[in-house]
Structure 1
Amino acid sequence: MLKLFRAELDKYLLEVKTYYPDQIVDMVVKYILFATFFYGFVYNVRNSTAYCVAYMYWIIASSIISELSMSISFEKQVGTIEQLIIKPYPFWLILTVKTYVVLLITALKGALLFAIIRITLPISLVFNINLVWILLVSVIGFTGVGLALSGLTMKFAKTASFESIISYGLLFFSGTIIPFDKMPMTVQRVLNVIPFTAGINASQKLLDGNSQVLYVLLWLLLINLACFVIGYFVFNAFFRNVKTNGVLNNY
């Protein structure tokens, strides 16, 4: 397992080093988005730390979800996906390990981004170590969504449109553009059962000193495990389908 993590980490770091201009552009775009939303929508309206947490969740969730399906699409395009399948690890486990590699690199990039934001924008941030544990629980659910999209990619090859819809949908419902308490009550109830928004809500309750944080954490763990299990079964269903029909390498 550790060897698999090291291999995926080395591979991802090589990609980052090779295509570093893309990483710089990505950081600049995310900085501009942050500044635009912060000043245009929520400045002096919400707690700035809660806003940053929501934005960080969006960065990590969208990176994980898109990276898994993009890697499948690339492997199919170059015809090397079967080499992944014959490795001495289950295919879904390889993708799950890749998730945590992406999490690590994205978190480091996010930390750098927020360091720049802290220096260049009039914003104050408060750090609580428990926010990290909430994020790690939430990543379980992100992985489930990523696995489900990876299954779709194995079947249909190109799912960029799905990724874009999911990514910008997550941004909209993260509370970054419109705070949760400003949304209709029905929408708030629906968002409470979605791992992404439930994680953000749990973080905000923690920052607000809410006494029901333990209950929120248990609920968060439950829905994230459920999301992972659903994503796992969706992935395996598509995986069996493409193997049975012999279209695994079709692109």
Structure 2
Amino acid sequence: MSYRNDDSSAGSDVAGATTLFAAVLRKRAFLLVRYPMNTLAQIVTVYLFFAVIFFGGKAAAGSIGGASALSDTFGGLIVGWFLWTMALAAYFSLASSVTREAQWGTLEQLYMSPYGFGSVMAASVVAYLLESMLWGAIILPLMLVTTGQSLAVDLPTIGPIIVLTLLPVVGIGFVFAGLALLYKRVENLSQLMQFVLIGLIAAPAADFGPLRYLPLVQGSAMLQRAMQDGVRLWQFPAADLGVLVVTAVGYCLLGFYAFKLAARRARRKGVLGHY
């Protein structure tokens, strides 16, 4: 009898987690479909920024006779922009989602959820990661067609690297979501992060070892090698994979812990759902 009860409880937990994740995923999909012009404008904006940089750099290099040398860097530009697009989506999706929940007055309902607030946020993180990879999957073919370049897209390799690279960005998103709960209007500060993300993606991890332990740096370097040089996941040194995993889990957990501290303080001050 006790065995059946334990098994039933385990099955119920799995079913509950599946239901929660499906609900969060449907909500994210609904928001994208419900506002199609906003979704389309986001894609067009990211692509136009890339096109301006690409064609502007190509024209400038051509005027000084350096077009052939510059063409060698187009692959790195595409991979970097691909990662930046996904990082922005993961970061802003989380930070803006918590802010909107507070504005709508539904954040307290998440805390009262029978699943627990931690479970709700964990499901949301998975949904945000899938959404960010969707943006990357849309913008990457556009960039390849525009530039005429080709890259290695081995999903068993780049998939885990992308997920682990984006997890520290999720941690940063948690930090800014916590700041938004406490200080409400932090949009200008939050906007500055997109430039910080560019710097982290472009950081030379190989030239200065300690940089590898910053968010995005190690993952960006590995993604460049995987997509430009065709390096497979199992061909990377164990030390590189270890740094990637440690930074991914560490920054994500630290960010979530900072968010919980900020949310706890916001509850004590009575401003959790106020905006």
Q: Which residue of 1 aligns with 2:255?
A: 231
The one-letter amino acid paired with 1:249 is G
For residues 119 and 179 of structure 2, the distance between their equivalents in structure 1, rounded to whole angstroms, comes to 17
TM-score (norm 2): 0.79
Counterpart mapping for 1:195-234 below 5 A: 195-206=215-226, 207-208=228-229, 209=231, 212-234=236-258
Within the alignment, does 1:145 sit opposite 2:169 as a pair? no
Match of 2:121 in 1: 95
Match of 2:145 among 119, 127, 135: 119
User: Contact between 1:16 and 1:23, CA under 8 Å: does it hold in 2?
Assistant: yes
| Aligned position for 1:193 | 213
The CA deviation at 1:217 is 1.0
Separation of aligned partners in 1, 2:225 and 2:213: 16
Q: Which structure's relative contact order is higher, taking Cα pairs within 8 Å and 6+ residues apart?
A: 1
- In 1, the alpha carbon distance for the partners of 2:55 and 2:204 equals 18
Residues 1:19 and 2:35 aligned together: yes
Rounded to whole Å, the distance in 1 between the matches of 2:92 and 2:188 is 11
Contact kept, 8 Å, 1:66 with 1:146, in 2: the verdict is: yes
Q: Deviations over 1:73-96 (max 9, x none)?
A: 112212221111100233243233
One-letter code aligned to 2:239: Y
Highest CA radius of gyration, 1 or 2?
Answer: 2
| Paired position in structure 2 for 1:240 | 264
C-alpha contact 2:24 2:124 (8 A) present in aligned 1 = yes
Aligned CA distance change for structure 1 residues 17 and 168 (closer, same or farther; 3 Å): same
Contact 2:164 2:245 in 1 (8 A): yes
The residue identity in structure 1 corresponding to 2:211 is L
Residue 106 of structure 2: aligned partner = 80
Q: 1:70 to 1:212 in 2, by over 3 A?
A: closer
Contact 2:83 2:136 in 1 (8 A): no
Q: Report how far residue 189 of structure 1 moved.
A: 4.4
Instruction: Name the SS of the counterpart of 2:213 in structure 1.
Output: coil
For residue 118 of structure 1, give the secondary structure of its aligned residue in structure 2. Answer: helix
Runs of 4+ residues over 6 Å off in structure 1: none
Alignment counterpart, residue 193 of structure 2, candidates 143, 166, 181? 166
> Aligned equivalents of 2:80 and 2:122: distance in 1?
23
> SS at 1:147's partner residue?
helix
Match of 1:10 in 2: 26
Return the offset for 1:40.
4.1
Q: Does 1:107 align with 2:128?
A: no
Structure 2: distance between partners of 1:140 and 1:172: 17
The answer to whether 1:68 aligns with 2:94 is: yes
Shift of 1:212: 4.8
Aligned equivalents of 2:148 and 2:77: distance in 1?
Answer: 14
Q: Which moved more, 1:144-153 or 1:190-199?
A: 190-199
Residue of structure 2 aligned with 1:30, choices 46, 54, 72: 46
Does residue 131 (structure 1) correspond to residue 158 (structure 2)? The answer is: yes
Structure 1: where are the runs of 5+ without partners?
Answer: none
After superposition, the C-alpha distances for 1:216-237 in whole angstroms (9 at most, x for unaligned) are: 1111111122112211221111
The aligned length equals 243
Letter paired with 2:198: L
Q: Report the 3-state secondary structure (helix = DSSP H, G, I; strand = E; otherwise coil) of the residue aligned with 1:140.
A: helix
The letter of the residue matching 1:226 is: G
- The CA RMSD over aligned residues, in Å, is 2.4
Question: C-alpha displacement at 1:36, in angstroms?
Answer: 2.5
Q: Which range is displaced more, 88-97 or 202-211?
A: 202-211
